[in-house]
């Protein structure tokens, strides 16, 4: 497994960051994404090295759709998105665990909340010209309690992409 880190400052830069990692691979790859990352793999997934796509509660827009537009059609439950004056978005740290990271323990969720990288708002307004899910096999994990992407929108994404739907694993038991 290889992980790509996205700069989150422009969609094309995020795709380029994943492409650099993909180019280093020697065989077929399955791209896995969560949330906004689904847009990135839907675009880069047309690369010949990509054999499939795995969406974990992720965006899987069709041609002409945007995340912002789909969010208006299927409103999410979160109330924590904050905007910076220079065009970036982030999740209010005090509400991060409730809206985005409900599974980790409180210390880990607090760390994640304060380590989050703001995302350029512009990435939520892009449209994918050729979504790879139209031609590549895909899997989709719908998060029934997702507060960032409406679970009804996730189900729509999974159905129309003809993704094999997988169930989320049972929550891990915390050890003390």
Tell me, what CATH number does 39's domain have?
3.40.50.1820
Strands 88-91, 119-120: pairing kind: antiparallel
Start-to-end CA span in the chain (Å) = 29
Which residues have a Cβ under 8 Å from the Cβ of 25 and sit 6 or more positions away? 2, 49
What's the rounded mean pLDDT across residues 53-79? 97
Q: How far is CA 151 from CA 70, 97, 112, in A?
A: 12, 18, 23
pLDDT surpasses 50 at 176: no
Domain assignment present for residue 113? The answer is no
Q: Which domain holds residue 70?
A: 11-74+125-166
Element (H, E) at 83: strand 81-83
Number of domains in the chain: 1
Q: What is the pLDDT of residue 170?
A: 62
pLDDT surpasses 60 at 66: yes
Domain assignment present for residue 16? The answer is yes
Specify the pTM: 0.91
Element (H, E) at 151: helix 151-160
Domain assignment present for residue 143? The answer is yes
pLDDT surpasses 50 at 119: yes
Helix (H, G, I), strand (E, B) or coil at 31: strand
Domain assignment present for residue 107? The answer is no
Binning pLDDT at 50, 70 and 90, where does residue 175 land?
A: very low
pLDDT digits (tens, 9 = 90+) for 3-60: 999 999 999 999 999 999 999 999 999 999 999 999 999 999 999 999 999 999 999 9
């Amino acid at each position: 497994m290889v992980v790509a880190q996205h700069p989150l400052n422009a969609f094309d830069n995020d795709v380029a960051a994943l492409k650099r990692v993909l180019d280093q691979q020697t065989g077929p790859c399955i791209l896995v994404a969560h949330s906004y990352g689904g847009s990135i793999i839907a675009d880069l997934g047309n690369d010949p090295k990509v054999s499939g796509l795995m969406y974990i509660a992720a965006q899987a827009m069709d041609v002409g759709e945007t995340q912002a537009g789909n969010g208006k059609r299927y409103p999410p439950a979160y109330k924590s998105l904050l905007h910076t004056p220079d065009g970036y978005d982030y999740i209010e740290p005090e509400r991060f665990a409730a809206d985005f990271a409900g599974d980790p323990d409180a210390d880990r969720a607090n760390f994640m909340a304060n380590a989050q990288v703001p995302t350029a708002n512009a990435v939520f307004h892009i449209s994918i010209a050729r979504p790879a899910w139209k031609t590549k096999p895909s899997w989709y994990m719908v998060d029934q309690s997702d507060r960032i992407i409406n679970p009804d929108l996730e189900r729509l994404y999974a159905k129309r992409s003809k993704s094999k739907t997988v169930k989320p694993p049972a929550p891990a038991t915390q050890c003390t």
